[in-house]
Amino acid sequence: MKNRFGLSLFFLVFLINVVLPVVPRSDAIWNVPTGMSILLQGNINLDEYPELQKEFGGYGLVHIDGKSYNIFPIGVSLLALPQLFLMTQINGSKEILNHSLEAGKFVAAAWMGIAALFVFLGFREKLGQSKALLFSLLFAFATPALSTGGRALWQQSGALLLNSALFFLLVRGRYDIRTMIWVGLVCGLGVWVRPTTLLVSGPVFLFFLVKRRLRANWILLPAIPLFAAYLMFNLNLYGSLFPVYFSHHIDRVFKFETFGQGLAGILISPNRGLFIWSPFLFFSVIGMLKMRGQKDSSLSWLFLSCIVTHLFLISSFDMWWGGHSVGPRLLTEILPFFLWFAAKGSPDFSKSMPTRSWFRSIWVATCILSVVFHLRASVDLGPTLWNRSPRNVDEFPERVWDWKDLQFLSGDHALKFFL
């Protein structure tokens, strides 16, 4: 019965993400063709797709020794290989390549279904089935997991899937050797998908080094070979230890001139702020303030460290708004950790509040608004097009702070009325 319940959750999240129409042309455009190149040609160059290169205008490509490659990390394509193989057996490779953006959304939708399942299983260990269902649904439909994670094969989509798996392994609390190996495998794969996952993998290893010192080394058994292979792959192809995309951006981080604006922007700006787009996550602040003295405080400190290190890095990035993003895209991968604290700060956990009725009303209202904002950005291209109209947000980043030009209200006027 429990397995059927989890399976139903997966299919619900998967099908809703598949049905929602928005499929942005984004940094993810070459992840499906790269995966298909691996399956069909046994290589990762994209020279066999001249029509796609013409359609996408060469965006996202890097040319090395006369061949074209995806400028972004290859890990997303590797992670998608099982699904691309299955889809190829059903629809044929030509059909997949002719509709590569839609195929990418299909894979991403499945990833969000799996991620929601991991979140559900993790919370079920702590909260019971009904509350776990509530927070897994909030995760799936009231956060960037919907408006970013399920819309395309972003790096953040893959990183969110892996961090959700880590969340489950950690919250479950069974720290045996098998779990250590799984943790190491997830952390090792993470760096292939998005190098910023090291900001999670590092604290996780230190956590186990303190909690299970003798068993922590088992994490390294799969993690070190995967990390070494990653470095060798990049060195052989790009001539550097990291992909070209990250090598080109390394000098754009730790720009502390705009750190304060960046930190405030990714949390509370109207068009990029996490607490604006998902206002129910503001309750995570309450959960953070209450974590001292709790039985699982060590786990809370781990999740808080993952959040803080990630916020620090993104805030110090000179394009902290994430370019042409929908809402707080750059915080997508750490959503499970915010959700952990939001659960602890929600009314069911805050029974000491003197006026619980208004507290619960605020909770319900913020949950509804969160769903509306992300759902609207997934059914109307307006929020996506907002980035370039009326002015390019990368050229005029002050638009991020404009309360009169809200991204989640941009687009179809009829939808503004209903959503």
Measured CA to CA in angstroms, residue 380 lies from 114, 164, 270, 306, 414 at distances of 25, 27, 18, 33, 11
Q: How many residues does the chain have?
A: 419
Residue 275 has pLDDT above 90, yes or no: yes
Each residue's pLDDT tens digit, 364-386 = 999 999 999 999 999 999 999 99
| Token pair for 381 | 């291209």
Q: Which of 160, 156, 74, 161 is nearest to 114 (CA)?
A: 161
3-state class (DSSP) for residue 196: helix
State yes or no: pLDDT of 353 exceeds 80: no
Name the pLDDT band for 350 (thresholds 50, 70, 90).
low
Q: What is the pLDDT of residues 278-300, one digit of tens each?
A: 999 999 999 999 887 777 889 99
The per-residue pLDDT for 351 is: 54
Contact 156, 147 (CB under 8 A): no
Instruction: Give the pLDDT band (50/70/90) at residue 208.
Output: very high
Collapsing DSSP states into helix, strand and coil, what is residue 68? Answer: strand
pLDDT at 124: 93
- The tens digit of pLDDT for each residue in 99-122 reads 999 999 999 999 999 999 999 999
pLDDT tens, position by position, 83-99: 999 999 999 999 999 99
Distances (CA, A) of 29 to 141, 144, 156, 389: 23, 19, 14, 21
Longest dimension (CA), the chain: 68
Residue 214 to residue 137: CA distance in whole angstroms: 37
Q: Kindly report the pTM of this predicted structure.
A: 0.95
Q: Are 31 and 104 in contact (CB under 8 A)?
A: yes
With CA atoms as reference, report the closest residue to 108 among 136, 68, 79: 79
Phi, psi angle pair for 71, to nearest 5°: -75, -20
The C-alpha angle 415, 396, 330, rounded to 5 degrees, equals 70
62 pairs with which residues across the strands?
69
> Is pLDDT at 187 greater than 60 in this prediction?
yes
Where does the pLDDT of residue 252 fall: very low under 50, low under 70, confident under 90, or very high at 90 and above?
A: confident
Give the pLDDT score at 1.
Answer: 53
Query: What is the full DSSP assignment across 11-56?
Result: HHHHHHHHHS-----STTTTHHHHHHHHHHHSS---TT-HHHHHHH
Quick one: pLDDT at residue 417?
A: 57
Of 29, 78, 21, 85, residue with least CA distance to 57: 29
From residue 76, alpha-carbon distances to 104, 153, 159, 204, 369 in Å are 10, 7, 9, 22, 31
Domain limits of the chain? Answer: 1-154, 174-247, 253-419
What is the average per-residue pLDDT within 249-256?
Answer: 81
Question: 349 pLDDT band (50/70/90 cuts)?
Answer: low
Please report the beta strands in 53-183, taking only residues with DSSP state E, as ranges in sequence order. Answer: 61-64, 67-70
Band of pLDDT at residue 244, cut at 50, 70 and 90: confident
Q: What is the pLDDT of residue 419?
A: 61
- Whether pLDDT at 348 is above 90: no
Mean pLDDT to the nearest integer, 209-218: 86
Mean per-residue pLDDT of the chain: 92
Q: Which of 377, 267, 290, 288 is nearest to 339 (CA)?
A: 288
Decide which of 249 and 254 is more confident: 254
Average pLDDT score over residue span 40-45: 95
pLDDT at position 161 is 98
The closest alpha carbon to 222, from 176, 178, 286, belongs to 178
**Amino acid symbol at 300:** S
Nearest to 31 by CA among 72, 89, 62: 72
Q: What percentage of the chain reaches a pLDDT higher than 90? A: 80
Tell me which residue has tokens 């299919």: 11
pLDDT at position 146: 98
| 99: CB partners within 8 A, 6+ apart | none
In terms of Cα–Cα distance, which of 33, 74, 403 is closest to 236?
Answer: 74
Q: Taking residues 201-211, report their average pLDDT.
A: 94
Residue 413's pLDDT band, with cuts at 50, 70 and 90, is low
